[in-house]
Structure 1
Amino acid sequence: MKPPAPYLPVPSPALSQADHEALSDLYIRGTPANTLRAYERDLIYVTAWKQARFDLPLRWPESEATALAFILDHARDLGDAPEEDIARQTAEALILQGLRKSLTCPAPSTLDRRIASWLAFHRMKNLTSPFGTPQVKQARSKARRAAARPPAPKSQHPVTRDILEQLLAICRGSRRDCRDRAILMLGWASGGRRRSEITGLMFEDVSLKDFEEKSLVWISLLETKTTTKGETPRLVLKGRAAQALVHWIEVGEIQDGPLFRPISKADRVLKRRLSPDAVYQIVKHRLKLAGLPEDFASPHGLRSGFLTQAALDGAPLQAAMRLSLHRSMAQAQKYYDDVDIADNPATDLLG
Structure 2
Amino acid sequence: MDRDLGGPRGSRPPVASQPLASPGRRHPARHPPDARDLAESKRAALGHPAHPGPRSSRGRTACRPRPALLLVGFSGGLRRSEVATLSIDKLEWHKTGITIRLERSKTDQEGEGREVEIPLGQHPETCPVRALKSWLERANLTEGRVFRRVDRHGNVGMALDKDSIGVIVQRSVKRAGLAAKHYGGHSLRAGFATQAYLKGATELEIMQQTGHRSLAMVRRYIREGKKLRQTAAGKLGL
Per the normalisation by structure 1, the TM-score is 0.50
The answer to whether the 8 Å contact 1:224/1:232 transfers is yes
For residues 229 and 136 of structure 2, the distance between their equivalents in structure 1, rounded to whole angstroms, comes to 38
Deviation at 1:183, TM superposition (A): 0.5
Q: Which amino acid aligns with 2:170?
A: K
Q: Deviations over 1:54-86 (max 9, x none)?
A: xxxxxxxxxxxxxxxxxxxxxxxxxxxxxxxxx
Q: 1:289 to 1:337 in 2, by over 3 A?
A: closer
Q: Deviations over 1:320-349 (max 9, x none)?
A: 11001001112211111222446059xx9x
Q: 1:279 to 1:318 in 2, by over 3 A?
A: same
Deviation at 1:228, TM superposition (A): 4.6
Q: Can you give the 5+ residue segments of structure 2 that lack an aligned partner in the other structure? A: 1-24, 55-60, 121-126
For residues 283 and 342 of structure 1, the distance between their equivalents in structure 2, rounded to whole angstroms, comes to 23
Deviation at 1:269, TM superposition (A): 0.6
Runs of 4+ in 1 over 3 A off after TM superposition: 174-178
Deviation at 1:292, TM superposition (A): 2.3
Q: 1:155 to 1:315 in 2, by over 3 A?
A: closer
* Count of matched residue pairs: 193
Q: Which amino acid aligns with 1:207?
A: E
Q: 1:342 to 1:228 in 2, by over 3 A?
A: closer
Structure-2 residue corresponding to 1:226: 107
Equivalent residue runs for 1:339-350 within 5 Å: 339-341=225-227, 343=229
Q: Which amino acid aligns with 1:256?
A: E
Q: Which amino acid aligns with 2:184?
A: S
Equivalent residue runs for 1:46-65 within 5 Å: none
Structure-2 residue corresponding to 1:153: 30
Q: 1:296 to 1:165 in 2, by over 3 A?
A: farther
Q: Which amino acid aligns with 2:148?
A: R
Deviation at 1:178, TM superposition (A): 3.9
Q: Percent identity?
A: 28
The answer to whether the 8 Å contact 2:105/2:111 transfers is no
Structure-2 residue corresponding to 1:304: 190
Q: 1:285 to 1:341 in 2, by over 3 A?
A: closer
Structure-1 residue corresponding to 2:151: 264
Structure whose residues are more often strand by fraction: 2
Structure-2 residue corresponding to 1:290: 176
2:138 pairs with 1:251: yes
Q: 1:279 to 1:308 in 2, by over 3 A?
A: same
Deviation at 1:246, TM superposition (A): 1.0
SS of the residue aligned with 1:339? helix
Greater relative contact order structure (CA < 8 Å, 6+ sep): 2
Q: Can you give the 5+ residue segments of structure 1 that lack an aligned partner in the other structure? A: 1-106, 111-150
Q: Deviations over 1:38-69 (max 9, x none)?
A: xxxxxxxxxxxxxxxxxxxxxxxxxxxxxxxx
Structure-2 residue corresponding to 1:118: none
Q: 1:155 to 1:340 in 2, by over 3 A?
A: closer
Per the normalisation by structure 2, the TM-score is 0.72
For residues 221 and 62 of structure 2, the distance between their equivalents in structure 1, rounded to whole angstroms, comes to 31
Structure-1 residue corresponding to 2:165: 279
2:49 pairs with 1:168: no
The answer to whether the 8 Å contact 1:215/1:243 transfers is no
- Given candidates 173, 182, 206, the residue that maps to 2:91 is 206
- Given candidates 215, 218, 228, the residue that maps to 2:96 is 215
SS of the residue aligned with 2:118? strand
Structure-2 residue corresponding to 1:321: 207
The answer to whether the 8 Å contact 1:284/1:298 transfers is yes
For residues 245 and 153 of structure 1, the distance between their equivalents in structure 2, rounded to whole angstroms, comes to 29
Structure-2 residue corresponding to 1:196: 81
Q: Which of these two proteins has the greater Rg computed from alpha carbons? A: 1
Structure whose residues are more often helix by fraction: 1
The answer to whether the 8 Å contact 1:156/1:295 transfers is no
The answer to whether the 8 Å contact 2:87/2:144 transfers is yes
Structure-1 residue corresponding to 2:20: none
For residues 198 and 113 of structure 2, the distance between their equivalents in structure 1, rounded to whole angstroms, comes to 27
For residues 196 and 68 of structure 2, the distance between their equivalents in structure 1, rounded to whole angstroms, comes to 20
The answer to whether the 8 Å contact 1:161/1:305 transfers is yes
Q: Deviations over 1:219-244 (max 9, x none)?
A: 11112221257512211111111111
SS of the residue aligned with 1:255? coil
The answer to whether the 8 Å contact 2:41/2:176 transfers is no
